Structure 1
Amino acid sequence: MTHPLGRWAVIDIETTGIDPSYDQIIDVGYLQFEGTTLVRKYSSLVQYDGKLSQFIKKLTGIDSKMLINAPSWQVVSPEVMDVFGHHLIAHNAEFERSFLSDHFARIDDGSGRESYEDSLYFLSLLFPKMSSLKLENFICDWKIAEHEEHRGFQDSLDLLKVLLIAVATVRRDVELNATLGALFKKYNLTDYWYYKFFSLSDEEIAQLSESIELDLDYHCNIAWEWMYPVDEKVDAGEKLFSLEFNGENLKNIFRNEDAVRLKAPFYKYRESQETLALRIGQSFKNKVHSLIQAPTGTGKTLGYLIPSALFAMSEQKQVLVATGTKTLQHQAVSKDVPGLRRLLGLGDDELKVRQLIGSGNHLCELLFRQSVEEEDLLTNTKEFKEKYTDMFFDLVFFYNSRSHVDDQITRGDLPFVMKRKIEDFSTKESDITVDFRSCTGQSCPFKNDCSYIKGLREAKDANIIIGNHALMFSWPRSFPRPSYVVVDEAHKVEGETTSAFTYEVSESDLNSLNKALLHSQGIGSLFYLLAQNETTEGESTAVITNIRGEVTNTQQLLQDHLNGLPTVVESYFKKRPKYTDIFWNEAPMINRKRTDELGMAIFNHLDSIRFIITNLNNYLLPYHSRWDVKELTDDNQIVAFTRFEKFMGVLDDTQKALEVALDQPEEVAGYTKSLKYHGEHGMSVSASPVNVGKVLHQGLLEISDSVVFTSATLGNDKGDQGSRGIEWATGYSYLEPERRFKSGFYLPATFDYKNKTKVFLCDDTLPIWDKSFVPQTLKKVSKLIRELKGRSLLLFSARSRFEIARELLLEEFDGEIPLFIQGMGNNVVEDFKKSESGILLGMESFGEGIDIPGDALQFVFVDKIPDLRMDLVIQDRRDFYESNIGNEFTDYYLSHRTRSLHQKLGRLLRTEEDIGGVIVVDSRIRSWKGRTMQQLLKLMEPYQIQRTTLDEACEKVRDFVIQ
């Protein structure tokens, strides 16, 4: 009898690149099985006489010498073709398919083709919490190896180990194991090869493990602890400080080094940290707003958390801490808050700090269940990816039903790779996203397991709520936003304000709405509500018929315009100068006064779509307010209500976006209205606010008692240059004098930048677009790196330059000085720190979030002064600033660029003992006039930047560091 697994092989290939039409296989390995019996192991390099890139050499450990005498593909190919007709198991199997399928096709004998079984799908079902599904994550986390080998046979072997450990570990969780089995059946996935693998008996799992010498129990124990880590409760311990909220007590806490070190051994008193805490305390106590620059080394997070905690407990007022990113939000909750509790001697029940994310980041189980029920009749005709998507989200809600609110899966946790691979996955995610306008709250049958509702419930009782910038503008309606707010990373708030208050509708949005109308999604829920709430039997029939006719007519009209719109938009943009196939193209929004044929056609399509949607919205509006969810007691009616409300929300958003984008400037003032086009993503219409400061003033400052904006990079060190633009962008300059401190506070630099750093700006290089820019520049910089024995960070602003630099640095230093490259491994920064004499290479943004104290980093190279994206809204803001506020070039444009440069240079000094040099090259500054350069140098204080040649800069950095 044939075993359910059939014939299968775990296979992996290494290639010279990612393009199968150009690149070649250089390494292949597999383990071949019949059922649970290992029948063959195979591994071979493949002859290649071309030039192997340094990146591939570094990644795989394969060099050209190893390939010269390797067997040719003609010799290797028959060995690989031995797994013809097998189930081929691979991680991201599309890669293997792209290189191997043509070879297998040549020997197709009609007896059954090979199938590619991607382990990405299977592992995501077993571990839906995993946002990254890189094989290396599993290999390292489960202690299979220290890193992924990137060799054919070893990666095949490691993947099989991962799969066996995964199944055996999940099996220990009886409830999870049973749920997975039931869901495979529910979604008709019992023919899926991985279901058969999942269904292997314990004995068969053990047999496979023995055949590859895997210590299954050992690794399962590690994986179990990884799956279900034990919560380490903070031992609050003895209360060493008073919890009174006043200036003297804050001073006492920060100045009592010996007492603080009992709770935080590495604490060191910093006057600037104390000053920060006192300013925040004053702001909260006096109900005024403030702007505080707290340079690197201030201890900013603890500096605002301590006064926030004492104020919240003393005054019984909630404080919202809004971080710049979700990563910082998570860091605050997992690292900084436990430290705060230890310091103050407070348990979780005494100081309640809760994380909260906005409604749009949560998934709605009610919407999901309804969508699945509607699709049940189609289940047997669904493709695998549709079934997989449904099963995945079903598992998400199962996971959330068993998890604490802080551990529940939200949209940010979903695997990005699946959003890219599966259109249905992205569509489903969008369809079941919580919309606070349609959320039925305590009436929802799934309220007890809902991550959104549970998060709100926890946050309502918190002393401090940790959120992010976006949350400030999408606050849930179930309870008021705290009136006391700390906005961390305030230099990023302009971008978040823009995103939050931009009206936008894309081609994809319009197509989704059209699809919803075609299949009566949302409208069908209205029909159900009407039928279920009849006062006399049959009275809703005529109403439903009329609505159906209106919706059908709307859909047909909308479809007609959506058929013609994409073509004219594409033609319009391809005729414009500077068109690109790679990035978004942007043009001012077309208005009704246009006379050119394409422009008129686009406007007429969009204006007609607006008219169509507005008519439907107005037609359905009376039904929108007919029911009160609190009066609905039947779960099915609550589900229908939610679906219809969400549909109406989408309809309303689409109408509003088109109205604002298409109306004339005098009708809707203050917005930059643009039309965008991307070859892959299609068209987008948007309207973004120009005066973000006024928007932020009205949306946050006017309605809050005290908002504290803080960041390490608001202006220069004294705040006498660059600060005015930030005061405008945050809305601070719009405040009445009695609602704010006279000016922002710019705390003194913690580190001695004058004596501890040397920063050089060099313009004697080629332009960055020149093909020789990277080779010629690195030729000089490499000599310095060798003299420093590494200890260098190099940042490049474009992927093309980054990849050229990667090749050159590997060729120059591999085997001599270790290189750590962004994207090559999970722990490149930590590995770089441990090496103490390495080279770290990354993209521009890579240099804004890493922390490398000590001697491991003593030289930073930046390939240009950062630019400011010149979207239409940015250009309009510059014009607005110049006309209404001040000098836009210095206060806005140049300040943005130097603020970004400050962020990169901030990687160099992380402790008082650190020293180092920085070289920034940029040939563009040759044409800068004297005053512009003076403004740049002033904006970059406390760094004392010297202009010189690249040769001299390298020499001076060497002499400074090697003293």
Structure 2
Amino acid sequence: MGLGTWAVIDIETTGIHPATDEIIDLGFLQFEGTKLVRTYSSLVRPENQVSSFITKLTGITNDHLKKAPLWTQVEQDLLSLEAHSLLAHNANFEESFLKRYFDKIPSPNGRESYHDSLFYLALLFPEASTLNLEGFINQLGVADKEEHRGLADSRDLLKVLLLATYLTHQDKEFRMKLSEVLMEFPAEFFYRQFFMLKAEELEEIAEQLDYPLVESAKRYLIANKVEPLKIDKFDKFSTDFSGQNIQNILRAEKDINEVLPYYKYRAAQESLSLRVGQAFKNGIHALIQAPTGTGKTMGYLLPSFLFSKAFKETCLVATGTKTLQDQALAKDVPQMKRLLNLGPETKVVKLVGSSNHLCELLFREDNNEEPTFITPFGETFTKAYFEMLFFYNSRVPYEKKLTREQIPFILKKLAPELAEKDQNLAVDYRACAGQNCPLVNECSYQQGLREAKEAQLIIGNHALMLNWPRSIPRPQFIVVDEAHRLEHEATKAYSLEVHHKSIESLLKNLPQGMGALIYLLNSMEDGFAVENTVQTLRDQTQFSLKMLRDHYDSLPGVVEAFFKKLPNYSPAYSNELPFPKKSELKDPLAAAILNHIESMNFIFETLYNLYMPFISRWENRDFKNEAQKLKAWAVFETNFGSLEKLHASFKHYIEYPADWSTIIKYSESDSYSFESSPIDVGRKIHDELLMMSTSVVFTSATLGNASGDSGVQGVEWMTGYTYLAPEKRFKTGLYLEAVYDYKNNSKVYLCPDTRNISDPLFVPELLAQVNPLITKLGGKTLLLFSSRLRFEAASEIILREFEGKIPVFVQGLGKNVVEEFKKEEGAILIGMESFGEGIDIPGEKLSFIVVDKIPDVRQDLVIQKRRDFFEFKFGNEFNDYFLAHRTRSLHQKFGRLLRSEKDHGAILLVDNRVKKWKGNTLKTFQKLMEPYQIVSVPLKDATEQIADYFKV
């Protein structure tokens, strides 16, 4: 079966909604077999004006469109693709706009069909964590960026498909595997035929595009060839673990510059290193604030490596984000190892929790099931994707193996079957077959554990630290970086959450677990007793699941009705209420909800008691060299683990412990869930982390204010530091002096005279006063907005006023907007609130920051209860918990301004809510924000004073 008639197609539109937005650009490449028969491109005149945002994205202006044909003229060209296979990237978008036009005409030759290149490329590149077209264009060297024009993007997509497919001809093993996988798809799946094209046929198509396919493949292979890294030996420092040696190393600026050319001695970094070393040596816990510019990572890695080498102890570094993990492994750790001349025997391992890994044994068990007569595309693709993922993992070392976090979100969204399979294949340490698993050598989880047992340093995250794998002991010496995030991460780690999909999953999968158990009973035991046991299992399981299904089906309607009668119900967002207590029931709907929950709790307990006797009957070593029985055991254990979690969670909800916040959540898009979180999270961290560890060092740039005399009590509580005995902690935290001259090099203005932030005129009036200042500065500006509505409004105004005069870069418009901003002498960068926490732009290119409001603290019920608890237990929750939370977040955004000693600039913070602050709240806020000196003035005065400061 050949390719038939097909086309690569792309459209540009005025927005994302087919019902209200219009097509403004259509481009396609039309083929018959391997012959290009037509190249088409046309702008389309819309009825409405094109926004500045769309102009920035596509380069299409309203002037361009004035003389363009109307859609009625272009439509006939589109319809020439009747009965074609239409290829597009994220093809759902094209289909949502184009389908209605094809549907209007009779199709004697068959309907058009849409084929998403995103799925095909995901099979070709299982290691890709994002699947946007620009990423592939960039990665494969097709172009520098996506043009967002119909024909250009169609052409670039086809080049990507050609080169990606052609490269498989150079990797025979990969090509053979993918050939097998694609044969599972029906013949109508276009990319099955495309993949089977011979190299000469791919070259033929490429030649018609004037695309040098063979040369492009050679360039790509050369560029991606991994050469052994040749590093000159560097042997200038002792590896003794002592305060004097740490000082000697850090003060040897010229020697360090041979490895780190930009290194500069900082007294604050030395103090940080010494305190970490003292904490580890004396077996006590520490709290360290290391302001921006301290060199925090090097500061704690140096004593960690020296201590590990001297005392043969493994150290754990728990970071706040995956980005920091990756940065440490790719940059900071190799630099430190070279500096200390630590060879390959000094092992550093990245470790993630068991549930982040994928179990191939479970995947193989699922694939033994008999296929249905017609398998839905989502199921076929899901199987194919995981086949290629596990194949990829079988060919790469541990540090490159893929885990669940690398699976692109877009795939889970487009293929719900894949999202479900991802959940079901998560490793459950209880069900892990360990060294007896026939696939143990390829398993990322088991390999990670083996590597970690031999490591001197483990790089993990907060979640791993708090939910440590049971197979190996957690290191006794720990550095917790970005410790200001710990309350949020601990809440997630310690919460008991059940989503309605968890119950649905049990209903679907428990029969499989029962079948696996029955198989084990029949194959490993004999006699009349087994027959009776099997029958009892079947009868009780089927009856219990039927009862559970009745409650599961009824509960959503009751929960929905209960929430929708509330006066503050929001259809757009998640709503939450306290879990209903039997003693306080006043509403019949609340009573009905509790009745369903109590009944489901009884069913879970019945099932748990039914299966519990079998959970300790066998161990994985009982099935050595018996792969089928081992798979069955793993399936049973995994299903029992899901049941056990539901049983424990529902039992907890019913008991309603007073020191937990237990709630029901509901949203129209996501139905209901139950969640219970500890209120005193600091006590949990103390009992389960600090009491179990010899030394834990908490560090961050933003624990409190500059001197540590304000805003730190909340941090000491949430880290468990408050609960430590005096002999297990330093008398006070270490609050290192600011590295930069904030007093002279930064001007910060708080302007309370703007409109309410939710007012539609807030953004236009703000920018009416700010834009003239941006013009005078020649850009050099970062604007951060806390809602998408304000972000989009500001983007539109900024683009309309500055595009063509000062370069404007908008979050989401391109993959590397920050890097592109850095290349300009003066530019404007616009982003959402969180965008401002990971940007590093030293120098004058970023001199002015606008923040639209003081960040808020989530107002959910657990936070409210923590505020009440804090007030009762420690005192002033408003200052030391609520306001301190907000200022820590604000410090993170302000921290983008000064990134080197020579940097200087100004920050404009606008928030009219401060006018309602009572008493000394503003003074407390200013104190919490030290070392920044915040001046409260009208917006007009602030812009004038900033202009004077810059002398513009």
Q: Same fold (TM over 0.5)?
A: yes
Q: Residue in 2 aligned with 1:339?
A: 335
Q: Residue in 2 aligned with 1:421?
A: 414
Q: Residue in 2 aligned with 1:362?
A: 357
Letter in 2 for 1:247: G
Asked if the contact 1:890/1:935 (under 8 Å) is kept, the reply is: yes
The TM-score, its normalising length taken from structure 1, stands at: 0.98
Q: Residue in 1 aligned with 2:63?
A: 65
Aligned length: 950
Q: Residue in 2 aligned with 1:646?
A: 638
Asked if the contact 2:579/2:662 (under 8 Å) is kept, the reply is: yes
Letter in 2 for 1:367: L
Secondary structure at the residue paired with 1:448? helix
Compute the displacement of 1:886 (Å).
2.1
Aligned counterpart for 2:75 among listed residues 71, 74, 77: 77
**C-alpha distance in 2 between matches for 1:60 and 1:240:** 54
Letter in 1 for 2:359: C
**C-alpha distance in 2 between matches for 1:377 and 1:276:** 60
Letter in 2 for 1:365: E
2:344 is the counterpart of 1:348:
yes
Q: Residue in 2 aligned with 1:498?
A: 491
Q: Which structure 2 segments of 5+ residues have no match?
A: none
**C-alpha distance in 2 between matches for 1:564 and 1:236:** 69
Q: Residue in 2 aligned with 1:377?
A: 371
Deviations 1:909-958 (CA, angstroms, capped at 9, x unpaired) = 00000000000000100111241011100000000000001111111112
Compute the displacement of 1:89 (Å).
0.5
Secondary structure at the residue paired with 1:675? strand
**C-alpha distance in 1 between matches for 2:727 and 2:173:** 60
Q: Residue in 2 aligned with 1:44?
A: 42
**C-alpha distance in 2 between matches for 1:323 and 1:242:** 27
Aligned counterpart for 1:570 among listed residues 560, 568, 579: 560
Q: Which structure 1 segments of 5+ residues have no match?
A: none
Q: Residue in 2 aligned with 1:532?
A: 523
Q: Residue in 2 aligned with 1:784?
A: 773
Aligned counterpart for 2:239 among listed residues 243, 250, 256: 243
Compute the displacement of 1:225 (Å).
5.3
Secondary structure at the residue paired with 1:214? coil
Compute the displacement of 1:581 (Å).
1.9
Deviations 1:727-781 (CA, angstroms, capped at 9, x unpaired) = 0000001000000001110000000000000000000000001010000001101
Q: Residue in 2 aligned with 1:450?
A: 443
Aligned counterpart for 2:320 among listed residues 320, 324, 332: 324
Asked if the contact 1:341/1:348 (under 8 Å) is kept, the reply is: no
**C-alpha distance in 2 between matches for 1:434 and 1:222:** 39
Letter in 2 for 1:533: M
**C-alpha distance in 2 between matches for 1:539 and 1:531:** 11
Compute the displacement of 1:238 (Å).
2.5
Q: Residue in 1 aligned with 2:514?
A: 523
Following superposition of structure 1 onto structure 2, how do residues 249-260 of structure 1 map, counting pairs within 5 Å?
249-260=245-256
**C-alpha distance in 2 between matches for 1:357 and 1:795:** 32
Deviations 1:780-808 (CA, angstroms, capped at 9, x unpaired) = 01111001000000000000000000100
2:546 is the counterpart of 1:556:
yes
Compute the displacement of 1:110 (Å).
2.9
Deviations 1:291-347 (CA, angstroms, capped at 9, x unpaired) = 000000000000000100000011000000000011111111011111111211222
2:618 is the counterpart of 1:627:
yes
Letter in 2 for 1:308: S
Compute the displacement of 1:109 (Å).
2.7
2:791 is the counterpart of 1:802:
yes
Secondary structure at the residue paired with 1:38? strand
How well do the aligned residues superpose, as a CA RMSD in angstroms?
A: 1.2
**C-alpha distance in 1 between matches for 2:495 and 2:219:** 46
**C-alpha distance in 2 between matches for 1:222 and 1:341:** 32
Asked if the contact 1:717/1:941 (under 8 Å) is kept, the reply is: yes
2:899 is the counterpart of 1:884:
no
Following superposition of structure 1 onto structure 2, how do residues 516-915 of structure 1 map, counting pairs within 5 Å?
516-517=509-510, 520-536=511-527, 539-593=529-583, 594-633=585-624, 634-664=626-656, 668-915=657-904
Compute the displacement of 1:522 (Å).
1.2
**C-alpha distance in 1 between matches for 2:921 and 2:895:** 23
Letter in 2 for 1:110: P
Asked if the contact 2:434/2:620 (under 8 Å) is kept, the reply is: no
2:14 is the counterpart of 1:16:
yes
Following superposition of structure 1 onto structure 2, how do residues 64-463 of structure 1 map, counting pairs within 5 Å?
64-185=62-183, 187-224=184-221, 229-230=225-226, 233=229, 235=231, 237-349=233-345, 351-374=346-369, 376-378=370-372, 380-463=373-456
Letter in 1 for 2:121: L
Compute the displacement of 1:553 (Å).
0.2
Q: Residue in 2 aligned with 1:476?
A: 469
Secondary structure at the residue paired with 1:485? strand
Secondary structure at the residue paired with 2:739? coil
Higher mean C-alpha displacement, 216-225 vs 42-51 = 216-225
**C-alpha distance in 2 between matches for 1:442 and 1:282:** 39
Secondary structure at the residue paired with 1:264? coil
Secondary structure at the residue paired with 2:782? strand
Q: Residue in 1 aligned with 2:479?
A: 486
Letter in 2 for 1:896: H
Deviations 1:236-268 (CA, angstroms, capped at 9, x unpaired) = 613110000000000000001111111111110
**C-alpha distance in 2 between matches for 1:122 and 1:225:** 24
Asked if the contact 1:236/1:345 (under 8 Å) is kept, the reply is: no
Secondary structure at the residue paired with 1:719? coil
**C-alpha distance in 1 between matches for 2:227 and 2:14:** 45
Compute the displacement of 1:437 (Å).
1.6
Deviations 1:96-138 (CA, angstroms, capped at 9, x unpaired) = 1011111001112332000001000000000011111110011
**C-alpha distance in 2 between matches for 1:14 and 1:363:** 38
Deviations 1:623-674 (CA, angstroms, capped at 9, x unpaired) = 111112112221111111111111111101111111212223xxx2310000
**C-alpha distance in 2 between matches for 1:855 and 1:122:** 44
**C-alpha distance in 2 between matches for 1:763 and 1:755:** 24
**C-alpha distance in 2 between matches for 1:232 and 1:606:** 60
Deviations 1:601-620 (CA, angstroms, capped at 9, x unpaired) = 11101111011111110111
Asked if the contact 1:717/1:748 (under 8 Å) is kept, the reply is: yes
